[in-house]
Amino acid sequence: MSTAVAGTEINEVLEQLGIKEENQGASTGSHWFNTRGEKIGSYSPVDGSLIANVNMATSTEYEASILKAQEAFKEWRLVPAPKRGEIVRQLGEKLREYKEPLGKLVSYEMGKSYQEGLGEVQEMIDICDFAVGLSRQLNGSTLHSERPAHRMYDQYHPLGIVGIISAFNFPVAVWAWNTALAWICGDVCIWKPSEKVPLTAIACQKITAQVFKANNIPEGVSSLIIGDAEIGKLMSNDKRVPLVSATGSTRMGKSVAESVAKRLGKSLLELGGNNAIILAPSADLKMVLPATVFGAVGTAGQRCTSTRRLIIHESIYDNVKEILTNAYKQIKIGNPLDENNHMGPLIDKDAAEMYKAAIEKVKASGGKMLVEGDILTGEGYESGCYVSPSIAEVENHWEIVQHETFAPLLYLIKYSGEVSNAIDIQNAVDQGLSSAIFTNNIRESELFLSQAGSDCGIANVNIGTSGAEIGGAFGGEKDTGGGRESGSDAWKIYMRRQTNTINYSTELPLAQGIKFDF
């Protein structure tokens, strides 16, 4: 990797995180391969600067990482789970030390606000804390056997290698969600981050290596592969990787799922969202405003949980429209490292062009632009990645509304009659990640959360769609993939289940009363 001029401050951040020229595109811990793969540039959407060039890994480095991971798994799985939890605890402490520079790098390389960058690192710390407690609770069940003097129970064992394919919008948190749980379960991990944000991944690997080296942990427990879609395909088709956790678009997820299913592996998919907030007549608009604006423009609309659709009862529709339109005039757009700005850039110029094309498609479909966004130019916007947000009046069944636009494009949809009509509108898309309702009517809130309510993996009352707590399982249904990460019992996906029966008698009763005359 070779660094380029990207400002004194970011160079200091890279130095703090130990990112120097000797870093390459593949690592099995503290060992970095001398890769010969193609170089890719990490360009900041903040100012268009080239932060660094990184050598991508080749299939040879991938193979070496797999072999090293297999070797490490044999040792790591024998370490008691609470001892594995202690290693994760130390990682959480180390992340606390590096929270500020890592959060700043997340902000600069990806484009989200500095506050959100710090928040993402805090998510890493939180999942480490969660995993530490969980390392003493990997419980099975004791079951009653129908045979006398027999004991039956089930237990969980580690799978082996967990492959992690992460997206650009959460360049570090999603990796931590997977690794913290996989490690305490006894698995080893190989991570292929988005090639758009390689430096944050290298930083995480460097931080992890410090903890692992201090505790003599085998190198292959944590591996990093910087690469393009070909590395992802190798991982998805590799029988030696029993679980592939993939975060990204529905199109990408379907490809991963197909490849993994063909070899009867397991996949954990966190894919697209088309998230809606329902505003019932009794909604508290003072709460609605910050939830909607943050949900729609936070991370420039590049969260999988971003608010895409606002389904509003006709009795409050005009009022909500006016309030939101006025609020959007106050949104400050600019350098995400400036805490006075509400919204930073999209990830790259292609994303900005796709956003502009989506706006044109909305208008061509008959949509009315209440606030029409555009690509911003001029001083401070030289990268070509900054856009202004949009609000459009639409119909839910339009094709453009049915698809996720990964940008700050908010749709207003009017409903009449009972809240069940709004729920039907919300559910009438292929995605099923996050959903919310604002109401002070307990019957409406309970219906929303019932079997006849939201069909999403996340359903909130009087809180927005964006974001989630570590303690709850995160994920969605339908084209969102069905995966669950983070809290609750999400740890079980990283383990294999085994049923055990012990006969402590001197007899051998056979099933169904079968007897042999021996």
Using CA atoms in the order 60, 62, 66, 68, what is the torsion angle rounded to 10 degrees? 70
Q: Exposed, middle or buried by CB within 10 Å (0-12, 13-18, 19+), for 477? A: middle
Catalytic residue among 270, 404, 444, 485: 270
Question: 116 catalytic, yes or no?
Answer: no
Instruction: Report the largest interatomic distance among the alpha carbons of the chain, rounded to a whole angstrom.
Output: 92
Which pair of structure tokens corresponds to residue 272?
């697209």
In 346-478, which ranges are E strands?
A: 368-371, 390-393, 409-415, 431-432, 434-438, 458-461, 473-474, 477-478
Q: Exposed, middle or buried by CB within 10 Å (0-12, 13-18, 19+), for 266? A: middle
Question: 270 catalytic, yes or no?
Answer: yes
Distance separating alpha carbons of residues 503 and 498, to the nearest angstrom: 17
Q: Are 64 and 33 in contact (CB under 8 A)?
A: yes
3-state helix, strand, coil in the chain (%, to 5): 40, 20, 40
Question: CA 117 from chain center: how many Å?
Answer: 14
Catalytic residue among 304, 385, 404, 456: 304
SS (H, E, C) 231-266: HHHHHHCCCCCCEEEEECCHHHHHHHHHHHHHCCCE
Beta bridge pairs of residue 3: 52
Residues known to be catalytic: 270, 304
